[in-house]
Amino acid sequence: MSRTSASESFIVRPEDVRIIRALQIAPRASFASIAGVLGLTESAVNRRYRRLCAEGVLRVAGVVNPGALGQSRWLVRLRCRPGGVGAIAEALARREDVNWVALSAAGYEITCAIQSRSREQREELLGRRLPRTAAVLDINAYAMLRQFLGGRGHYWAALHGVLSPEQESALGSEGPPFAEVPVVSREPVVLTAEDERICEALAMDGRASLVDLAAAADSSPGRVSRRLRTLLERRAVHIDVEIAAAALGYRARANLWLRVHPSAVKEVGRALAREPEIAFAAAVSGPYNVHAVAHCRDLDDLFEFTSDRVGSLAGLQSMEVSPVLRHLKQAGTLLSGDRLAGPARPGG
């Protein structure tokens, strides 16, 4: 049975959402630990998790944070000729240093997040390759200045309340959140060859066992455990829990570009991070100094959310709401329709 046909009959049940929430809090927790907290059997958690992954609803993956390596992150808006936009978006989605790609503005605009591991890699893309692409009409690049929600801090408030405070406390956490820390570390981490191999294995499976990680890194489980703990603590890598929002009923996605009075940027960013609809929020350079990604159940909910709650934020001067027509990649995971398809293969 194909994924498409299977997904049409697959229903995300309440116990699935509880498992997803547990993984948000402790993405590498054992199935036995999760089962004990949720009151389920270990086999049930294992079975539901693997079905969620197979159906493209859920994926757990390790993501390297270039900011911890001393590299800045950028959001880019590309205005393209209609005939070439699809090919450009797909080429960007195949790149390892592009971790988020979406089409909006009636299919004429590409929004992407650039997370290059080196300045040379970023300059090659933004300074040479994209400007020379005939189908690209206009490029606007914005440096990320402060991240309020996203990365390891991405607990997506829409799932708050699924578990009790006692259950969440029992699960603990495997590393500090990314919310509200400097985007670029003042003391960059230098990854060793062993670290790189660990990160490559985690990119394929964020829940890979220490034995499997040790085999990939040609090391021992004990040493890998210590290195992974250090990488998590220094935010060089985080274990991301990617969710196909549409599978949970959130079918209207939009990029929000906010022009905020400079004195209110922090307050607006923090307020957005508390909203259940917001999956990402950051202060950025440029005329729109706050960017956010919203997931709503439908366009009417998007209208109510942006007009009533976002629109009433103190300090907001103007806002552009750009609905996403097609989402190609999120946090390094390719999408097929409204489902997660798996890790991107290098290309572009």
What is the per-residue pLDDT across 213-246, written as a single tens digit (0 to 9) for each?
999 999 999 999 999 999 999 989 989 999 999 9
Q: d(Cα 153, Cα 173) in Å, to the nearest integer?
A: 11
- Which residue has better confidence, 20 or 150? 20
Alpha helices in 221-277 (DSSP H): 221-233, 265-273
pLDDT range class, residue 178, cuts 50, 70, 90: very low
pLDDT range class, residue 175, cuts 50, 70, 90: very low
The domain limits of the chain are 72-152+245-343
Query: What pLDDT is stored for residue 59 in this prediction?
Result: 95
Q: How far is CA 214 from CA 22, 189, 217, in A?
A: 26, 21, 5
State residue 154 phi and psi, 5-degree precision. Answer: -80, 80
Query: What pLDDT is stored for residue 211 in this prediction?
Result: 98
pLDDT at residue 347 is higher than 60: no
pLDDT at residue 348 is higher than 50: no
Alpha helices in 96-220 (DSSP H): 119-123, 165-171, 193-204, 210-217
Query: What pLDDT is stored for residue 149 in this prediction?
Result: 83
pLDDT range class, residue 155, cuts 50, 70, 90: low
In angstroms and rounded to an integer, the radius of gyration of the C-alpha atoms of the chain is 20
CA-based nearest residue to 12, from 260, 346, 250: 250
Q: d(Cα 281, Cα 262) in Å, to the nearest integer?
A: 16
The span from the first CA to the last CA of the chain, in angstroms, equals: 31
Q: Which two tokens stand for residue 91?
A: 């080429």
Neighbours of 285 (CB within 10 A): 13
pLDDT at residue 345 is higher than 80: no
**Percentage of the chain with pLDDT > 90?**
70
**Residue-averaged pLDDT of the chain:** 90
Query: What pLDDT is stored for residue 9 in this prediction?
Result: 65
Q: Which two tokens stand for residue 248?
A: 């949970």
**Percentage of the chain with pLDDT > 70?**
91
> Burial letters for 184-221: b for 16+ Cβ neighbours within 10 Å, e otherwise?
bbeeebebeeebebbbebbbebbbbebeebbebbebee
Tell me which of 27-36, 150-159, 302-311, 334-343 is least confident: 150-159
What is the fold, at CATH topology level, of the domain defined by 72-152+245-343?
A: Alpha-Beta Plaits (3.30.70)
Mean pLDDT of 37-59: 97
What is the per-residue pLDDT across 98-138, written as a single tens digit (0 to 9) for each?
999 999 977 789 999 998 888 899 999 998 899 889 899 99
- Which residue has better confidence, 141 or 344? 141
In terms of Cβ atoms closer than 10 Å to its own Cβ (0-12, 13-18, 19+), residue 345 is: exposed
335 with 329: CB under 8 angstroms? yes
Q: d(Cα 280, Cα 151) in Å, to the nearest integer?
A: 8
Mean pLDDT of 8-37: 92
